[in-house]
Structure 1
Amino acid sequence: MKSDIHPDYHTIKVIMTDGTEYETRSTWGNQGDVMNLDVDPKSHHAWTGSAGTILDRDGRVSKFNNKFGSLGL
């Protein structure tokens, strides 16, 4: 293997959306950094099975629905 081409592999702390935390090894950040997750398997509807909500920022979803809503089944 070539030397000095691989990123540093170190320990970081990950904090889930419900506040639980764990330590893991990663190439992200620096040794001892904390990663706060906005979306994780405990909160995302793809894993929980609940119906997700779409945030309508600046009316983008409304504009899309107005333009393409009639194409649905």
Structure 2
Amino acid sequence: MPKKDIHPEYNEVTIVMSDGSEFVTRSTMKTKDGTYRAEVDSKNHPFYNENLKMITATGRVDKFNKRYGKKS
């Protein structure tokens, strides 16, 4: 016998991306006005775009290269 009242509500949610584009989907996400505004998405996150810059944190890459004989 299935249990009653154990599943969350499944409602329509409008997702607004950081560039202003939007789409409608269904989700269990709770929002005040039925809209979720994304601050970071695949169009502006450095991991996904072509402008990815490699940052050498406190010279760790240089230290590795120096230790193992890699020339820069």
TM-score category, normalised to shorter length: 0.5 to 0.7
Q: How much does 1:50 deviate?
A: 1.7
The alpha-carbon deviation at position 31 of structure 1 amounts to 8.4
Greater fraction helix: 1
CA contact (8 A) 1:12 1:33 kept: yes
1:30 deviates by: 4.7
Gaps of 5+ in 1: 53-64
> TM-score scaled to structure 1, two decimals?
0.64
Residue type matched to 1:26 in 2?
S
Aligned to 1:14: 15
* Aligned pairs (5 A) from 1:1-73: 1-30=2-31, 33-51=34-52, 69=58, 72=60, 73=63
Max Rg structure: 2
- TM-score norm. by structure 2 comes to 0.65
Q: Which blocks of at least 5 consecutive residues in structure 2 are unaligned?
A: 64-72
How much has 1:49 moved relative to structure 2?
A: 3.0
Matched residue of 1:46: which SS?
Answer: coil
Percent of matched pairs sharing the same residue: 32
